[in-house]
Amino acid sequence: MMKTLKTFPYGFKSRLKAGVKVRFVLILIFMVSNYAAFAQKPAAENVSRYISHLKNKRTGLTANHTTLVGNEHLLDVLLKNNINVVKIYAPEHGFRGTAGAGEIVDDSKDKKTGIPVISLYGNNKKPTKEQLSGIDCMVFDMQDAGARFYTYLSTMHYIMEACAENDIPLFVLDRPNPNGFYIDGPVLDPSCRSFVGMHTIPVVHGMTLGELALMINAEKWLAGERQCNLTVVPCVDYTHLSKYKLPVPPSPNLPDMQAIYLYPTLCFFEGTPLSVGRGTDFPFKVIGHPNLKNNKKYEFSFIPKSNDGKLKPLLEGQVCYGKDFRNADVNVSEINIDQIIEIYKDYEPKEGFFKKIFSLLAGNKILQQQIAEGKSSKEIRESWQKDLEKFKEKRKKYLLYPDFY
């Protein structure tokens, strides 16, 4: 069973159904020309739309530091409204979002409320039947970054799967996608399925987590082709035509919008020997490696050091020479494949440039071969198009908001 909670007056779609087409078109024109947000709000801020569904139920909450209602955490809002939150489930980076990438977070208790916190990272990515015992429904609310390899999507998948297996209704409170205004990259080949890519979608999919939840459920992508009892609460007045500025960083190494816009490109370098700035004050805004020292194109340098965002970062203590994108134009509409091709050409030795995880991030084994063979970015992009067109058609069925196609 799947549904969305929508009543008048709500978002753009409900207004369109009500017949206010002229106003809808005028707003869209304004947003297209200015990439502006028009009163965009995450679903969590429209408390009246979901709070009644949680009354008198023992509630589980999958959340982290991005789970905000204005300046207040959703957990505190639920408790103030007398919702009985009995367990918290936390993804990579932990419930308060302070753990570094890949850092194991143990089960604990929330210091403020004393509610048990179950870690959903490391070896325990899907809550067990025992960990779900004592809850009547689950609420999922986290801010995504809009790229397939950002692992909050995988956490949502496993929550959906666990809820389906244990007959627990799931409420997904949707949030805008900061990279939701374009679609690009190779569509995942199932042979490259992993925690950094679980679904046959492109790297940049142009969907919110709520829309993806509807797709995952309807396409029967959960284990055993199960479907969960899913309710998606949509954002207010969000559209894929606009850019949404995140109120807080979604994780320690995506500190601002510059990093978020660069992330779909620079994350590919996580599958190479290069540093992406983890262990600096500007992660995912630079790339570099000691082996690029003697190339005049790479005069910019930085030294990764352990910090709160990353303990023992790649190339710690070494001078990395590369590129600085902190002030680069990030009016992006595609992944910068030319950047990856250029670095590959300039890096020596070629052997060992591509790590195993590169194909997992790309979602296929072909991209690595194409770059090594000297294919142009145009040729590489052409190889994506057939699968991208199929995805765009499939995507239309699950969209909750006005689109750019």
Angle between helices 337-346 and 377-396 (to 10 degrees): 150
In this prediction, residue 32 carries a pLDDT of: 45
Compute CA 388 distance to the chain's CA centroid, rounded to the nearest angstrom: 19
Torsion 294-298-301-307 (CA) sign: negative
In this structure, are residues 164 and 213 in contact, taking their beta carbons and an 8 Å threshold?
A: no
Give 235's DSSP letter: P
CA 286, CA 277: separation in Å to the nearest integer? 6
Read off the pLDDT band of 92 (50, 70, 90): low
Give 39's DSSP letter: S
In this structure, are residues 142 and 63 in contact, taking their beta carbons and an 8 Å threshold?
A: yes
Q: Which of 270, 59, 250 is nearest to 163 (CA)?
A: 59
- What is the CATH number assigned to the segment(s) 2-247+392-396? 3.40.50.12170
How many angstroms separate the Cα of 360 from the Cα of each of 153, 218, 254, 380?
A: 15, 25, 20, 17
In this prediction, residue 107 carries a pLDDT of: 63
- What is the CATH number assigned to the segment(s) 257-374? 3.90.1150
Read off the pLDDT band of 16 (50, 70, 90): very low
Structure tokens that stand for 388 in this block: 């991208």
How many other CB atoms sit within 10 Å of the CB of residue 375? 18
Q: Determine the Cα angle at 179 with ends 325 and 404, to 5°.
A: 125
Q: What is the mean pLDDT of residues 119-128?
A: 87
In this prediction, residue 354 carries a pLDDT of: 98
In this structure, are residues 204 and 185 in contact, taking their beta carbons and an 8 Å threshold?
A: yes
In this prediction, residue 93 carries a pLDDT of: 62
CA 330, CA 328: separation in Å to the nearest integer? 6
In this prediction, residue 19 carries a pLDDT of: 37
CA 88, CA 180: separation in Å to the nearest integer? 28
In this structure, are residues 312 and 306 in contact, taking their beta carbons and an 8 Å threshold?
A: yes
Peptide bond into 9 cis (omega under 30): yes
Name the β-bridge partners of 137. 59
Tens digit of each residue's pLDDT (9 = 90 or more) over 221-265: 999 999 999 999 999 999 999 889 999 999 989 999 999 999 999
Q: Where are the domains of the chain?
A: 2-247+392-396, 257-374
Tens digit of each residue's pLDDT (9 = 90 or more) over 373-395: 999 999 999 999 999 999 999 99
Structure tokens that stand for 81 in this block: 């409204």
Among 4-8, 77-81, 201-205, 209-213, which stretch is predicted with the lowest mean pLDDT?
4-8
Return contacts of 103-107, CB within 8 angstroms, 24+ apart: 103/311
Q: Which of 260, 78, 89, 96 is nearest to 181 (CA)?
A: 260
Read off the pLDDT band of 1 (50, 70, 90): low
Share the mean pLDDT of the chain: 89
pLDDT of 105 above 60: no
